[in-house]
Amino acid sequence: MDLRSLKQRFGLIGNSESFERALQIAVDVAPTDLTTLITGESGVGKEVFSKIIHALSKRKHNNFIAVNCGAIPEGTIDSELFGHEKGAFTGAVDNRKGYFEHVNGGTIFLDEIGEMPQSTQSRLLRVLESGEYIRVGSSKVIKTDVRVVAATNVNLLQAIQKGKFRKDLYYRLNTVPISVPSLRDRQEDIDLLFRKFASDFSERHRMETIVLSEESKEMLRRYRWPGNIRELKNIAEQISVLSEKRRVDAEELERFLPKAEMQGGLLPALIGAGSGPDSRSSFGGGDMSDREIMYKLLFDMRRDINDLKHFLLSMAEGGQIPAEVANSDAFRSVTTAKVPTGGHEQEQVRNEPLMRAPIVLNAHTGASIVQAPTSRVEVLEEASLSLADMERDLIQKALKKHKGKRKYAAEDLGISERTLYRKIKEYNLVE
C-alpha cells in the first residue's frame, strides 16, 4: 500500500520526512509477526501506528486490544493480562480469562510498557519466547498465538540502567523499532493539522472555520508543543469556540498559547535532550514525571511571587500595609551590606523584614501603617509550604477539574496514569 492511500484510509495528516519514514516501517513490518516497539512522546499518536500494523497484517480479521500498562494497578495487572483462577486472591470469585486469552490469534498493543512491574515483565518475556503463560493461581500452562506491539514514551535504556526494566525483555520487544517524531520536529505539518482540526470542529458544530494569518502560523511553529498532536487539537478547538475573530492574528493567538512553552521561553532546556522520542526522559527515564510536576510548581511559584512583590510594593507606596504584616516573618527582604572585616570590607547577606520604615497612624482610620520603603527590595516567599503539599494540591485540582477521571487528570499534569495512581495512594487523596 502506498503512503497516500494509507493516510486517506486512517485519516493521517502530514508530509514530513520523519513521519513518512515511520509510516513506511509500519507498512513494511505489518505482514510479518515480528514484535514491534513504538517510541515517541506522549500525544504523538503511537496507538494509530499499532492499529495500522494490525490492519495490514494477516491477523486483521481477529481481535485487536489496546492495554495501557500504566493505568492498571500493580496488584491486578497480572490478572488482567493473563487471567486468574477462582480463589487465587481475595475477590476472585470465578475463573477469568486474561487479555492474552481473549485476543488469541490477534494483536495486543501494550502502551506505556515502561510502567509495567518487573514481575509482570518476566511473565511477558515467557509469552514472547515460548507463547506460553500461566493464569494467576493456576499451575496449568496455556498456549497463545498473539502478536505483541508495545509502545513507550520513556527511555527504556535508562530504565534498564536503573534496574526498572529487564534488558532481555527490551531486546525481545525491540525487534523492529518505530520512532514516531514529535510535533516540534514536524513543523511543516503543524499548519495542515491545525486546519484539519479547525475544519472538523466547525463542520461538526456548524460554525465558520477559523483562518490563521501568516504571523499566527509562524507562532505555531515556534511553540514547543509538549502535548504534541493532542495539544494542537485542543488549542484549535479552544480558538474555534472562544475567539471572536474568524481570522486569527498573532495577537489573538497569543492568548491561547502559554508563553513559557514558546521556543526561547522560560522553561529550562533539558541538557542532552534531543528531538527524538526519548528526549522527554533525558533527566532520568521514568522519574521524569515527578520532575515535570516539580517544574510546574516552581514556575507557578515564581509567577505568584512576582505578582505578590508588585502588589505589596504598590500597597506600600499608598501606605496601605498594616505594620504587623509588613514586619512579620511571612515576608522578608534580602539585602547586602558592606561589613568591615580585618581591615577591609566584605559583603554580607542580610535577611530582614520587608519594610524598614517608621510606623505612623492613618489620620482617617487610626490604623497603624508603614510608609513606603526608601530602597528597592526583592520580596521572597518563605518555603513554608513544602513541595509535597503543593504537589498534593495540584493533583487535587486536576482531579476536581476532570471530575475524578484519572486519565484526563494525568494528561493535564503531564504524567502517566500509573504515576498519578501512586501519588493518589501516597497522599491518601479522595477522588
CATH H superfamily, domain 3-179: P-loop containing nucleotide triphosphate hydrolases (3.40.50.300)
Domain residue ranges in the chain: 3-179, 186-261, 317-381
Per-residue pLDDT, averaged over 245-259, amounts to 88
Percent of residues, the chain, with pLDDT higher than 70: 71
pLDDT for residue 430 is more than 50: yes
Give residue 190's pLDDT band: very low, low, confident or very high (50, 70, 90): very high
Which of the residue ranges 5-19, 176-190, 356-370, 400-414 would you say has the lowest mean pLDDT? 356-370
pLDDT for residue 142 is more than 90: yes
Residue 334 sits at φ, ψ, to 5 deg, of -110, 120
Could you please report the per-residue DSSP string of 254-300? Answer: HTTS-GGGBTTSSSPPPTT--SSTTGGGTTTGGGHHHHHHHHHHHHH
Gap between the Cα atoms of 398 and 191, Å rounded:
30
Give the residue among 385, 415, 388, 384 at the shortest CA–CA distance from 399. Answer: 415
pTM: 0.61
pLDDT for residue 386 is more than 80: no
pLDDT for residue 375 is more than 70: no
pLDDT for residue 288 is more than 50: no
Please give the mean pLDDT across all residues of the chain: 79
Structural contact between residues 395 and 420, judged by C-beta atoms closer than 8 angstroms: yes
C-alpha cell at 197: 482540526
Per-residue pLDDT, averaged over 35-50, amounts to 95
Per-residue pLDDT, averaged over 134-149, amounts to 93
pLDDT confidence of residue 296: 60
Higher pLDDT, 317 or 275: 317
C-alpha cell at 297: 510548581
pLDDT for residue 255 is more than 60: yes
Which of the residue ranges 16-25, 257-266, 342-351 would you say has the lowest mean pLDDT? 342-351
pLDDT confidence of residue 371: 44
Per-residue pLDDT, averaged over 113-131, amounts to 94
Give residue 241's pLDDT band: very low, low, confident or very high (50, 70, 90): very high
Higher pLDDT, 86 or 177: 177
- Provide the strand spans (E) within 80-210: 107-111, 132-134, 141-143, 147-152, 176-179
End-to-end CA distance of the chain: 47
Per-residue pLDDT, averaged over 210-233, amounts to 93
What confidence tens digit (pLDDT) does each residue in 89-103 have? 878 878 889 999 999
Higher pLDDT, 261 or 144: 144
pLDDT for residue 282 is more than 90: no
Per-residue pLDDT, averaged over 327-338, amounts to 48
Per-residue pLDDT, averaged over 384-399, amounts to 75
pLDDT confidence of residue 265: 43
Interhelix angle 387-401/417-427, rounded to 10 degrees, is 120
Domain 3-179 and domain 186-261, same fold? Reply is: no
Which of the residue ranges 170-184, 205-219, 301-315, 399-413 would you say has the lowest mean pLDDT? 301-315
pLDDT for residue 263 is more than 90: no
pLDDT confidence of residue 88: 82
pLDDT confidence of residue 402: 84
426, amino acid identity? E
129 to 34, 77, 122: CA distances (angstroms):
12, 20, 11
Which of the residue ranges 30-39, 59-68, 145-154, 261-270 would you say has the lowest mean pLDDT? 261-270
Gap between the Cα atoms of 343 and 176, Å rounded:
72
Give the residue among 110, 112, 108, 113 at the shortest CA–CA distance from 65. Answer: 108
Interacting residues of 424 by C-beta distance below 8 A, sequence separation 6+: 395, 399, 406, 431
Gap between the Cα atoms of 25 and 56, Å rounded:
12
Q: Which option is the CATH number for 186-261: 3.30.390.50, 1.10.150.300, 1.10.8.60, 3.40.50.2300?
A: 1.10.8.60
Percent of residues, the chain, with pLDDT higher than 90: 51
32, amino acid identity? T
